[in-house]
Amino acid sequence: MSETQSKPVIVSRQGGLGVLTLNRPEALHALNQDMVEDMIAALLSWIADPEIKGVMVDHVGSRGFCAGGDIRMLAESGAGDGKQAQAFFGREYQLNHLIAHYPKPYVAVMDGITMGGGVGISVHGPFRIGTERTVFAMPETGIGLFPDVGGGWFLPRLPGQIGLWLALTGTRLKAADCLAAGILTHFIPEDLLVAAKAQIAGAMATHTPIATLTSGLDALSEPAGRLHHLVPEHRAIIDRCFAANSVEAIIAALEDVDHDFAREQLAILATKSPQTLKVAFRQLRQGALATDFAAHMRQEYRIGSRVVRRHDFIEGVRAVLIDKDHAPRWQPETLNGVDEALLNAIFAPLSPAEGAEWEPLTW
């Protein structure tokens, strides 16, 4: 294996297309600090390179696009002084912001598991391709974290209350539901992916790369098949119940619905961290009203800097990833125990002792 092939992100060119290939298949390409740094460096260099007309982020293998971030490192750091976790969040969020404001076409090939950190390097770009293997989720409420990487900005901008439902329940969506929700812009069958990638590279050689790229992907895109979660009767329940003005009110609204889908959502919510449910609720409600992505990411950095050191995240990682007993002991145990004072402390500006506030990259 060459040195390039052994790197966690392979940086290459195909004519006028810059390609970032995630290359940590043993970890389903979960992001670590080196990967974030490599992606930032390549993206910044390509902004100034007139020969690069657009960017594609892809991955080796077929099991996952990107399954998240380096959760074990975050938990180990959070159990100590939290500085390494805070540094990772800072750079990861700068990468998310860079992608959201990237001045050249950015294409994410979400062929496989796309969760957590993988969402952050895909959904903020304008072209998001899914396949039969796509599985999307923001599962953070199940490990006591929160739907970060700009989830508080992206999710509430999905139709109706789909985003808040995804944030609170951590539901996994396949391609048809992702396309219906606007998470994917195109569905391209696996057997057409090679042609699609060639089309993406070819579009960068034209005088109108965005228009050529759009028309080419539109031509290759196909219906994604049957909806599973977002059928009309489920959508109606989601939009009605998750529009309530608190997590407690959402639960009360679901309890009033005589439908198996509503009962399933109640059972799911009962397993989640009460702290994280309320953090995510406030995060998304604030994010829906936000007008500046950088300011929103600064808020997520404040939340992340604190939540990573709190009991629920360390306990959630223990229960799900280390001991795998899937029996976390949340503190507080109930929604009533998560008061406004606790939430205000998690969302407050950073103190000098906690470090500098987050700032985006400039270029």
Determine the distance from the C-alpha atom of residue 254 to the mean position of all C-alpha atoms in its chain, rounded to a whole number.
26
**From 38, 58, 111, 148, the catalytic residue:** 148
Two tokens at 264? 């399933």
Which among 122, 167, 158 is positioned nearest to 140, based on CA atoms? 167
The DSSP secondary structure of 319-337, one letter per residue, reads IIIIS-------SS-SGGG
- 96 neighbors 116 (Cβ within 8 angstroms): no
Contact partners, residue 176, CB within 8 Å, separation at least 6: 187, 224, 225, 226, 227, 228
Residues whose CB is less than 8 angstroms from the CB of residue 159 and which lie 6 or more positions away in sequence, other chains included:
181, 182
Respond yes or no: is residue 140 known to be catalytic: yes
The reply to whether 64 belongs to the active site is no
117 catalytic per annotation: yes
Residues 6+ apart with CB under 8 A from 285: 156
User: Which of the following is catalytic: 68, 116, 117, 144?
Assistant: 117
69, 112, 118, 120: the catalytic one is 69
What is the Cα–Cα distance from 222 to 131, expressed in whole angstroms?
10
Q: Is 38 a catalytic residue?
A: no
**Enzyme catalytic residues:** 69, 117, 140, 148
